[in-house]
Structure 1
Amino acid sequence: MRLVLFEPDIPQNAGTLFRLGACLGLPVDIIEPCGFILSDKHLRRAGMDYTDLVQITRHNSWADFEAQRTGRLILLTTRGDRSHVDFHFESDDCVMVGRESAGVPEAVHAAADARLRVPMMPDARSLNVAVTAALVIGEALRQTDGFPRL
């Protein structure tokens, strides 16, 4: 399983997602351009020393990522048509979060094998991308027995 960040805007969220990947043994893909420099101090503060423990693959564009992708693309989106808890994950899935400011373009929506959302209260718009990724990755790893062994 892989965690994919599509053109992230906020370094603190990216750092938190790098830390999530490091702690759970998940490689992280970044589709550029980013809204910040990858050496940003906020990214380092959020990721702490975990950023040195995660396998990060940078892709210059969506097309570059797609050319190298293996496994299904699972897009986490407020426009998702089903809940992450009602979805059957596979161990080679690529779980993607979109840009904090704009999500992902229609071409990415169209390429996704599944579009999932986290169930929320009716008046709530969305969760933070790092929180969403953690919830969904937790369920995906539970289903695939992919958590690191204690």
Structure 2
Amino acid sequence: MQDQVCAFSFILTVLILSTFKGTSGLIIYQSPSVTGREGGTVILNCTLSEEKLGPVRWYKGENQQQLLYSQLTSEKSDPRVSRTVKEGPTRNTDLSITFTNITWDDAGMYYCVKFKSDKVNVSAAGNGTRLYVTRKYKPFNVTIIIRCE
């Protein structure tokens, strides 16, 4: 019985530890949400708890389905996205991106993922930022026909 309790405790510990993102103690902070207007520009924030070697990639979708931005020039990023470079002490820990000319279809979840220096293994991933997009107001033409007899 004691062996079963020990095995259960071990499995529970492994499950709890496996739910934490990242293996290096690195934490990524992302804004929970941001709202932009069709055709406009938004900044998706991503800040590291400490400076680490390795590239950052931004993905759209829960399962990293669509690569939006990569620091690696060999990987094709969306041409509407660029790194938001800030001067000062947070320059190497701020991995935010600027997303221009957003469309209705761009709405969704975006994840900032920091990779280890091997460029393959994940060092840490953020909890995601939900991008809300509002439609541009499009005036409509109304034609009123009055018929008098």
Class of the TM-score when normalised by the shorter of the 2 chains:
under 0.3
More helix by share: 1
Higher relative contact order (CA 8 A, sep 6+): 2
Give the TM-score normalised by structure 1: 0.21
Higher strand proportion: 2
Q: Which has the larger radius of gyration?
A: 2
Q: TM-score, structure 2 length as denominator? A: 0.21
